Amino acid sequence: MKSSAGAGKRGANASPCSFQPSTPASDGYRLSRNQRLRANSDIASVRRNGRKLQTQNLEIRVAPASRPRVGVIVPKHGQTAVSRNKLQRRIREILRLHLLPGMEQVDVLIRCRQSAYALSFDELKKEIRAISSFVGRISRA
């Protein structure tokens, strides 16, 4: 005798779980793997060979590449993991929306200074938009 009405309809090999997959497909609101600097060797190469620009709150390195990629380094600076992750998420979102769409084929590495933790989203956006002309000059050089 079956223990439930649904068990008889499923068949012997059907999975009893009807939940959604735990890792859904990307919704397009994040940087793809191809758009991120991920390998330590790539990051080290950009830090060594990239042209450098410093602003009050950020240090930017730009190096020619085969496709546009970005990386964000947020040092601890005595901050909590929550504040570091928040700053990193904000910068990645600004890069995704405002820098990557028109970016040439370069690797951009952004390292935050301690003062960057105090910036609002709009202040970060203004500072990153200001570096876009620098990124464009490097890619054409």
CATH number at residue 61: 3.30.230.10
Position 15 in a domain? no
Hey, what are 5's tokens?
């009405």
- R_g (Cα) of the chain, nearest Å: 22
Looking at the structure of the chain, the number of domains it has is: 1
Query: Which residues on neighbouring strands pair with residue 110, listed in sequence order?
Result: 60, 72
Residue 59 lies in a domain: yes
Within-domain flag for 10: no
**Host domain of residue 122:** 31-140
Query: Is residue 96 a part of any domain in this protein?
Result: yes
Structure tokens at 113: 């200074």
Average pLDDT over residues 6-34: 67
Q: pLDDT band for 8, please (50, 70, 90 cuts).
A: low
pLDDT at 7 over 60: no
- Higher-confidence position of 129 and 22: 129
Which tens digit of pLDDT belongs to each residue from 88-125? 999 999 999 988 888 889 999 999 999 999 999 999 99
Residue 13 located in a structural domain: no
